[in-house]
Amino acid sequence: MPADGPYDILDDRFRTGRCANGDSRLEVLHDDCRWAEGPLYVPAWRQLVWSDIPNDRILRWDEATGTVGVFRAPAGHSNGNTLDRQGRLVTCEQGNRRVTRTEPDGTVTVLADRYDGKRLNSPNDSVVRSDGTVWFSDPDFGIISDYEGHRAESEIGACNVYRIDPVSGEVHLAADGFDGPNGVILSPDEERLYVSDSRAARIHVFDVHEDGALSGGKVFAEARGDVRFDNIRFDDEGRLWAAALADGVHCYDPDGTLIGRLRVPEPVSNIAFGGPKNNRLFITATTSLYSLVMSVTGAPRL
């Protein structure tokens, strides 16, 4: 089907779902990064924070003024950022090989840096359940070279997804068998956990049990050709949006069908919904931060 602005309509559900009715062009908010990732809109601040991994800093864009400044530097070669249910910033620090939480007074609490006594590889992305349980991916992207972290051997010898218990703080193995686990996100009802595996070019879906254990792991979506997935996000109608590197941003129907795509001038690393109405898609793509005000709304911010 013909493209309209940055939108490629691959299935009529993309059209009937009003996914292509937003802005007719991408807006460039910043273009001075080396490799941008981890966008997160913080409603209380009316700001977006994101990671510039090789430059070892977290940047922030102010919605009211449009200005960009440094939020934290050095930042442990941080990657993914999210909020817990108390509005605290949870960050995956590739270089420091840990998951941290920034407290209201600015102090940093380490949530996880080891599993079974061994140092983590390089935590990449995380998600927090309403009861405080944290799941995070731990590929080796930050230890294979000095570009996005510090070159080192893996102590664990595998790339896994882990769970942090909200009461004990203990780190549990949640799922294994990945080539390069990357984006993690809970379904809006918190009954399923989706994990993208960049190296395998797949998105897996797991059933989440009350105690935080996972089961299943079937393939939800599989990319074709040279396409690879990074992080993933839901809109409020259950569609899954995936950063697909050189292939822009993919949109999947709840049944796993690829129904549309957003074309972006640079390889896309991460995406996040934000803005006052949660209908502005922020896109980190190589050196730049883009945004697109859409007719689609992100999954509710709980």
Single out the residue of 10, 36, 46, 2 nearest to residue 280, CA to CA.
46
Give me the pLDDT at residue 2, please.
Answer: 41
pLDDT digits (tens, 9 = 90+) for 121-137: 999 999 999 999 999 99
Spatial CB neighbours of 117, under 8 Å, sequence gap ≥ 6:
none
Percent of the chain with pLDDT strictly greater than 70: 98
pLDDT digits (tens, 9 = 90+) for 65-87: 999 999 999 999 999 999 999 99
Amino acid at site 113: D
What band does 302 get if pLDDT is binned at 50, 70 and 90? low
What band does 230 get if pLDDT is binned at 50, 70 and 90? very high
How confident is the model over 163-178, as a mean pLDDT? 98
Q: Round to whole Å and give the CA distance between 55 and 35.
A: 8
Q: In the predicted model, is pLDDT for residue 3 greater than 80?
A: no
Map tokens 């004990």 to a residue. Answer: 168
What band does 5 get if pLDDT is binned at 50, 70 and 90? confident
Spatial CB neighbours of 286, under 8 Å, sequence gap ≥ 6:
33, 35, 36, 266, 267, 269
pLDDT digits (tens, 9 = 90+) for 236-279: 999 999 999 999 999 999 999 999 999 999 999 999 999 999 99
Give me the pLDDT at residue 210, please.
Answer: 95
* 36-42 sheet: strands from edge to edge: 36-42, 47-52, 57-62, 68-72
Helix spans in 191-275 (H): none
Q: In the predicted model, is pLDDT for residue 178 greater than 60?
A: yes
Give me the pLDDT at residue 144, please.
Answer: 98
Give me the pLDDT at residue 4, please.
Answer: 63
Paired with 114 in beta bridges are 119
End-to-end Cα, the chain, rounded Å: 36
What band does 1 get if pLDDT is binned at 50, 70 and 90? very low
Average pLDDT, the chain: 96
